[in-house]
C-alpha cells in the first residue's frame, strides 16, 4: 500500500516536471505571433497563455488548431486577464512594446517601452513571482534593470530568474560566420557578450573556430548592427520578428530542458551578473548554465584578444549608462 502510493507520487512528480505553462506578453505582435506558434510546436509546453492589449484571443484561436497536445488560451486585455495569463506560469516571454523605425536607435524606444515593461513586470511580480522572466522588449539593456527594480520594490526579486534575451546575437553571429566560411552554422558557436545594442554587443571570435575573424572589423560591425539591416529592409514596418521568434523559442526550449531536469544546458543571456559589478555594471550577457532554479552558473568571459579588449572597453561605457537609465526610470516613475 505504502509502496504503491509512493510509486504513484513519484510518477506524478516526474510527469509534472514535464508539464510547463508558458506565457507570452505581447503575443499578437510581429514577434509574439510566430513565437507563440513555435511554442505551440514545442512538446515541452503543456499550456500556452497568450496576452496582448489587442488581439490575443484571435491569435490563440488560430494557434490552438495546430495539432499538438498543449492547450492555448488567449486572455482579454484586462487586469484579471493579465493575472490569469500569468498565474502558474514557469516561463514568461515579454515581446510587448514598439519596434524601431529606420534612423532610430534601440534607446529611442525607451520612452514608450519603459512604462510598458514596468507595468507588465508589476503584474508578473504579483501573479508569478517565481517564474523565469525573459525580456525581449527593447532596449533590453534598460528594460531588464527595470524589471529587477520592480521586483525588488515588491520584495520578490530573484536574480536567478530574470533574463534579457540576447540569443539573436549569437544566432546572427553563427550565421554570418558560416556564410563567410561556407560552413554549417550548427558548427559555428560564436560567443557574444555584453548587452543588446550597438557597441555593447561584443562577439568574441578569438574563442571560435576562426580566431582570425576578430580583426575583421566589417564582420564585427555586422554582428553589432545586424538589427539595423532588418530595420532598414523593412523600411518602417518594424524590426526583426521571425529570426527573433526563433531565437526566443530557442532560449525558452533550453530553459524548459533545464527545468525538466537536463544538466549542462548553456545559453547566452543578459543577467544580474557579478562579472563587472566592480565597474558598476550590474547586468551583463555571457554564457549561462541553466538549471531548475534559473541561472545555475555564470560563465566568465574568458580569454580575449587585443581587438576584443577594445570592444569590451567601448561596451562598458554605453552599457553602464543604459542600465542606470532603467534604474533611474523606476526611481522617478514607480507607477501605481
Ligand X SMILES: O=C([O-])CC(=O)C(=O)O
- Which residues make up each annotated binding site for substrate? 100, 106, 138, 172
40 binds, among ligand NAI, ligand X, none (CB under 5 to 8 A by kind): none
Report which DSSP code applies to 100: P
Q: Of the ranges 7-15, 96-104, 280-288, 306-314, which one interacts with ligand NAI (CB under 6 A)? A: 96-104
Joined grid coordinates for residue 211: 580566431
**Nearest residue (CB) to ligand X, 29 versus 57:** 29
Residue 142 beta carbon to ligand X: minimum distance, rounded to whole angstroms: 13
- Decide if residue 246 touches ligand NAI (CB under 6 A): no
Residue 42 beta carbon to ligand NAI: minimum distance, rounded to whole angstroms: 19
97 binds, among ligand X, ligand NAI, none (CB under 5 to 8 A by kind): ligand NAI
| Residue of 65, 196, 210, 299 marked active site | 196
> What does the alpha-carbon distance between residue 248 and residue 237 come to, in Å, rounded to a whole number?
20
- Decide if residue 330 touches ligand NAI (CB under 6 A): no
Contact indicator for 113, 98 with CB cutoff of 8 Å: yes
Contact indicator for 178, 188 with CB cutoff of 8 Å: yes
Joined grid coordinates for residue 72: 492555448
**Nearest residue (CB) to ligand X, 85 versus 140:** 140
**Nearest residue (CB) to ligand NAI, 141 versus 206:** 141
Residue 78 beta carbon to ligand X: minimum distance, rounded to whole angstroms: 29
Residue 166 beta carbon to ligand NAI: minimum distance, rounded to whole angstroms: 7
Alpha-carbon separation of residue 210 from 75, 189, 237, 268, 315 (angstroms): 47, 10, 35, 20, 22
- Decide if residue 52 touches ligand NAI (CB under 6 A): yes
The residue assigned the cell 484571443 is: 57
Buried b (16+ CB within 10 A) or exposed e, 16-47: eeeebbbbbbbbbbbbbbbbbbbbbebebbbb
Q: Are strands 201-204 and 294-298 parallel, antiparallel or unpaired?
A: unpaired
Residue 239 beta carbon to ligand X: minimum distance, rounded to whole angstroms: 4
Residues forming the site for ligand X (CB under 6 A): 99-100, 106, 138, 168, 227, 230-231, 239-240
Q: Of the ranges 90-98, 151-159, 275-283, 303-311, which one interacts with ligand NAI (CB under 6 A)? A: 90-98
- Helix (H) / strand (E) containing 75: strand 71-75
- Decide if residue 140 touches ligand NAI (CB under 6 A): yes
- Decide if residue 123 touches ligand NAI (CB under 6 A): no
Residue nearest to ligand X (CB): 227
Binding-site residue ranges for NAD(+): 26-32, 52, 113, 136-138, 244
- Decide if residue 168 touches ligand NAI (CB under 6 A): yes
> What does the alpha-carbon distance between residue 245 and residue 89 come to, in Å, rounded to a whole number?
19
**Nearest residue (CB) to ligand NAI, 138 versus 254:** 138
Radius of gyration of the chain (CA): 20
Say whether 299 is catalytic: no
Contact indicator for 70, 58 with CB cutoff of 8 Å: no
Q: Of the ranges 14-22, 92-100, 124-132, 313-321, which one interacts with ligand NAI (CB under 6 A)? A: 92-100
The residue assigned the cell 526566443 is: 248
Q: Which ranges of the chain would DSSP assign to H, the alpha helix?
A: 2-17, 32-40, 56-63, 79-86, 110-127, 140-153, 167-181, 217-224, 226-234, 242-259, 306-332
Dihedral pair phi/psi, residue 30, rounded to 5°: -60, -40
Residues involved in catalysis: 196
Binding residues for ligand NAI, rule: CB under 6 A, are 25-26, 28-32, 51-54, 95-100, 109, 113, 116, 120, 136-138, 140, 165, 168, 196, 238-241, 244
Amino acid at each position: 500500500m505504502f509502496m504503491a502510493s509512493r510509486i504513484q507520487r513519484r510518477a506524478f512528480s516526474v510527469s509534472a516536471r514535464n508539464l510547463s505553462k508558458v506565457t507570452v506578453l505581447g503575443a499578437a505582435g510581429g514577434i509574439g505571433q510566430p513565437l507563440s506558434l513555435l511554442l505551440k510546436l514545442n512538446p515541452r509546453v503543456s499550456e500556452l497563455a497568450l496576452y496582448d492589449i489587442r488581439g490575443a484571443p484571435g491569435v490563440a484561436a488560430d494557434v490552438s488548431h495546430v495539432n499538438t497536445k498543449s492547450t492555448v488560451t488567449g486572455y482579454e486585455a484586462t487586469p484579471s486577464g493579465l493575472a490569469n495569463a500569468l498565474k502558474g506560469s514557469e516561463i514568461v516571454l515579454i515581446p510587448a512594446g514598439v519596434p524601431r523605425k529606420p534612423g532610430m536607435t534601440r534607446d529611442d524606444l525607451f520612452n514608450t517601452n519603459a512604462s510598458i515593461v514596468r507595468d507588465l513586470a508589476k503584474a508578473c511580480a504579483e501573479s508569478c513571482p517565481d517564474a523565469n522572466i525573459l525580456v525581449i522588449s527593447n532596449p533590453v539593456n534598460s528594460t531588464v534593470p527595470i524589471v529587477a527594480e520592480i521586483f525588488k520594490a515588491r520584495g520578490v526579486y530573484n536574480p536567478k530568474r530574470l533574463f534579457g534575451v540576447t540569443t539573436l546575437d549569437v544566432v546572427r553571429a553563427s550565421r554570418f560566420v558560416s556564410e563567410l566560411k561556407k560552413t554549417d552554422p550548427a558548427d559555428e558557436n560564436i560567443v557574444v557578450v555584453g548587452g543588446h545594442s550597438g557597441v555593447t554587443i561584443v562577439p568574441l571570435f578569438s574563442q571560435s573556430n576562426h580566431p582570425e575573424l576578430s580583426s575583421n572589423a566589417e564582420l564585427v560591425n555586422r554582428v553589432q548592427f545586424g538589427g539595423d539591416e532588418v530595420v532598414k529592409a523593412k523600411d518602417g514596418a518594424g524590426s526583426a520578428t521571425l529570426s527573433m521568434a526563433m531565437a526566443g523559442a530557442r532560449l525558452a526550449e533550453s530553459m524548459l530542458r533545464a527545468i525538466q531536469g537536463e544538466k549542462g544546458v548553456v545559453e547566452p543571456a543578459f543577467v544580474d551578473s557579478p562579472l563587472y559589478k566592480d565597474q558598476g555594471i550590474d547586468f551583463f550577457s555571457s554564457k549561462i548554465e541553466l538549471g531548475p532554479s534559473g541561472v545555475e552558473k555564470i560563465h566568465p568571459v574568458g580569454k580575449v584578444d587585443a581587438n576584443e579588449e577594445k570592444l569590451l572597453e567601448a561596451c562598458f561605457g554605453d552599457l553602464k549608462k543604459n542600465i542606470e537609465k532603467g534604474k533611474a526610470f523606476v526611481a522617478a516613475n514607480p507607477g501605481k
